[in-house]
Amino acid sequence: MIWDTELTRRLGIRRPIVAGGLQWLANAPYVSAAAHAGIMGFITAASFPDPADLRAEIARTRAACGNLPFGVNVSMLPKLVPGDQTEDILRLIADEGVRVIETSGRNPEPYMPLLKDLGLTVLHKVPAVRYALKAQAVGVDMVSIVGAECGGHPGLDMIGSFVNGAMAGEALDIPFLIGGGVGHGSQLVAALGMGAAGVVMGTRLLVSTELVAHEGYKQALVAATERDTALTMQSVHNTVRTLANDTTAEVLRMEAETQEITIQDLMPLVAGRIGRKAYESGDVSRGLLSAGHALGLTDRIEPMADIIARIEAQALAARGRLSGVVQMPEAAQ
């Protein structure tokens, strides 16, 4: 199939799919596998707090990608904090020759003049259309709207991807992507039909061979279903959807039983270092392990290229079904 959307044209990729940044997991092997599969992957800058390590990972990725494009994800904390290094990271990314960034976490407006000066294409990730409209107003190039079905942070509004897609098609002037529960080619065709330039996938790609994580972790995702996620941390206004496990059960108990609970109360259970151990050990019983409803589509461990080829074949089948049920009257042809 030959795809021609604003996403494929602007980013120089063959297929209108973005592999969103994954904390601790989106590194050179994963991102370069995405590039060779014809989609766009993003190194997660937050996984490399030492700037020298981030530079080295960008270099590793470039060596593995050759001339194929890739980007860097910059996840900003919801509020500016002392010692924030976002500006320095943006300059580093541009200095290393990367031309596309995926931003998330808070309004990028304060950085837009710098981003334009650096010549970076900005794909900003939001959880609902109302935030996408704000991002459009401050000058981002594209937005990803990641709905309630997503793994990680679905936002506070909890609007589903199907509704986000239809609303975005009516409301936005800049290119937009739809994410949240996306893991099948038919969803790609549906998103394009609603006006999207492509889709964002996270959970569906966690079972790729190239993802540097324990086989036991990937097997747990294959065994899981769309019903095996939990929403926690709603009490501290930081809702997260993750694989249901012992940690999510304990956090939900604390949220139900503890009045005026704080993030500090939950941190011994939800700290990122705990979840990171699951990627290394394969023990998925502890930690908040981001995973969305696309768990219902993670049916095997296989190379990234094979996952994307299957999605493309599913999209072709969906397009065929659509052409079979929609026929224009001769007078309108």
DSSP structural state of residue 306: H
Q: Which phi and psi (to 5°) does residue 144 adopt?
A: -105, 125
Residues 1, 315 contacting (CB under 8 angstroms): yes
**pLDDT above 80 (res 126):** yes
**pLDDT above 80 (res 34):** yes
Domain-located, residue 258: no
Domain-located, residue 254: no
Whole-angstrom CA distances from 90 to 63, 108, 113, 266, 272 are 21, 12, 12, 31, 23
pLDDT, position 39: 98
Q: How confident is the model at residue 332 (pLDDT cuts 50, 70, 90)?
A: low
Q: How confident is the model at residue 308 (pLDDT cuts 50, 70, 90)?
A: very high
Helix, strand, or coil (residue 208): strand
Best CA proximity match to 118, nearest among 97, 136, 146: 97
**pLDDT above 90 (res 83):** no
Helix, strand, or coil (residue 55): helix
pLDDT, position 333: 55
Q: Which residue has the higher pLDDT, 79 or 302?
A: 302
Domain-located, residue 314: no
Mean pLDDT of 118-138: 97
Whole-angstrom CA distances from 254 to 85, 270, 290, 302 are 33, 12, 20, 38
Cα–Cα distance, 312 to 94 (Å, whole number) = 32
Q: How confident is the model at residue 325 (pLDDT cuts 50, 70, 90)?
A: confident
pLDDT, position 140: 98
Mean pLDDT of 186-214: 98
Mean pLDDT of 15-39: 96
Cα–Cα distance, 331 to 325 (Å, whole number) = 18
CB atoms within 10 A of CB 156: 12
pLDDT, position 331: 62
**pLDDT above 80 (res 79):** no
Mean pLDDT of 88-105: 96
**pLDDT above 60 (res 106):** yes
pLDDT, position 281: 97
pTM of the model: 0.95
Cα–Cα distance, 119 to 29 (Å, whole number) = 26
CB atoms within 10 A of CB 161: 28
Cα–Cα distance, 6 to 196 (Å, whole number) = 9
**pLDDT above 80 (res 86):** yes
Domain-located, residue 31: yes
Domain-located, residue 301: no
Whole-angstrom CA distances from 282 to 6, 216, 297 are 39, 4, 20
Domain at 33, CATH number: 3.20.20.70
**pLDDT above 90 (res 265):** yes
Q: How confident is the model at residue 326 (pLDDT cuts 50, 70, 90)?
A: confident
Query: For the chain, what is the domain count?
Result: 1
Q: Look over the chain and give the mean of its residue pLDDT values, rounded to a whole number.
A: 95
- For residue 34 the two structure tokens come to 């995405």
**pLDDT above 60 (res 52):** yes
Domain-located, residue 216: no
**pLDDT above 80 (res 230):** yes
**pLDDT above 90 (res 118):** yes
Helix, strand, or coil (residue 227): coil
Q: Which residue has the higher pLDDT, 130 or 84?
A: 130
Cα–Cα distance, 108 to 95 (Å, whole number) = 19
pLDDT, position 78: 76
Find the farthest-apart pair of alpha carbons in the chain and give their distance in angstroms, rounded: 67
Residues 199, 149 contacting (CB under 8 angstroms): no
List the domain range (segments joined by +) for residue 126.
6-211
Q: Which residue has the higher pLDDT, 289 or 322?
A: 289
Best CA proximity match to 195, nearest among 218, 179, 219, 178: 178
Mean pLDDT of 6-26: 96
- The proportion of the chain whose per-residue pLDDT surpasses 70, expressed as a percent, equals 99
Q: Which residue has the higher pLDDT, 176 or 273?
A: 176
- For residue 131 the two structure tokens come to 């935030």
Domain-located, residue 273: no
Helices (H), 172-303: 185-193, 215-223, 246-257, 263-270, 272-281
Mean pLDDT of 258-287: 94
Domain-located, residue 253: no
Mean pLDDT of 242-269: 95
- The proportion of the chain whose per-residue pLDDT surpasses 90, expressed as a percent, equals 90
